[in-house]
Amino acid sequence: MHPEVKIFDTTLRDGEQSPGASLDIKQKIEVAQGLEALGVDVIEAGFPISSPGDFAAVQAVAKTVRRPVVAGLARCAPADIEAAWKAVKSAKSPRLHLFLSTSPLHMEYKLKKTPDEVFKLAVDMVRAARALCRDIEFSAEDATRSDPDFLARITAAVIEAGARTINIPDTVGYIMPSEFEALLRDLQARVPALGTKAVLSVHCHNDLGMATANSLAAIRAGARQVECTVNGLGERAGNAALEEIVMALKTRQAFYGVTTHIRTREISRVSRLVSSATGMAVQRNKAVVGANAFAHESGIHQDGILKQRLTYEIMDAKDIGLQENQLVLGKHSGRHALKRRVQGLGYDLSETALNVFFERFKELADKKKEVFDEDLVALLDEGAGAPAEVYVLEHVQATSGTGMVPTAAVRLRVHGQVLQGSGTGDGPVDAVYQTMAELVGKHPKLTGYAIKAITGGTDAQGEVTVQMLVNGRTLTGRGAHTDIVVASAKAYVNALNRLEKGKPAQGKKFRSR
Residues near ligand KIV (CB under 6 A) are 14, 99, 139, 141, 167, 169, 171, 203, 205, 512-513
Each as own residue / partner, the long-range contacts of residues 124-128 (CB below 8 Å, 24 or more positions apart, any chain) are 124/161, 125/76, 125/77, 125/78, 125/81, 125/98, 125/100, 126/98, 126/158, 126/161, 126/162, 126/163, 127/161, 127/162, 128/78, 128/81
Pick between residue 35 and residue 329 the one whose CB is nearest to ligand KIV. Answer: 35
In the complex with Zn ion, which residue's Cβ is closer, 13 or 478? 13
CB closer to Zn ion, 232 vs 423: 232
d(CA 47, CA 72) in angstroms, rounded, equals 6
512 contact choice in Zn ion, ligand KIV, none (CB below 5 to 8 Å, kind-dependent): ligand KIV
Instruction: Give the one entry of Zn ion, ligand KIV, none that residue 141 binds, where binding means its C-beta sits below a cut-off of 5 to 8 angstroms depending on kind.
Output: ligand KIV
Fill in the amino acid letter for 175.
I
What do you get for the CA distance between the two ends of the chain, in Å? 35
Of 357, 364, 375, residue with least CA distance to 452? 375
Smaller CB separation from Zn ion, 478 or 513: 513
Go through 225-249 and write b for each residue having 16 or more CB atoms within 10 A of its CB, e for each that does not.
Answer: bbbbbbbbbbbeebbbbbbbbbbbb
- Give the nearer residue to Zn ion in terms of CB position, either 146 or 434: 146
Nearer to ligand KIV, 240 or 495 (CB): 240
HEC states along 298-361?
CHHHHHHHHHCHHHCCCCCHHHHCCCCCCCCECCCCCHHHHHHHHHHCCCCCCHHHHHHHHHHH
In the complex, what is the shortest distance from the CB of residue 211 to ligand KIV, in angstroms, rounded to a whole number? 11
Tell me the closest approach of the beta carbon of residue 162 to ligand KIV, in angstroms.
18
User: Smallest gap, in angstroms, from Cβ of residue 99 to ligand KIV?
Assistant: 4
Q: Could you give the residue ranges of the DSSP H alpha helices within 259-312?
A: 267-278, 299-307
Candidates 9, 14, 266, 389; binder of Zn ion (CB under 5 A) is: 14
99 binds, among Zn ion, ligand KIV, none (CB under 5 to 8 A by kind): ligand KIV
Beta bridge partners of 423: 408
Least Å from the CB of residue 154 to ligand KIV: 15
Please, what is the minimum distance in Å from the beta carbon of residue 98 to ligand KIV?
A: 9
Q: Is 13 in the site for Zn ion (CB under 5 A)?
A: no
Interface stretch with Zn ion, choices 6-14, 18-26, 181-189, 299-307 (CB under 5 A): 6-14
Closer residue to Zn ion (CB): 481 or 513: 513
Which residues contact Zn ion by CB under 5 A?
14, 513
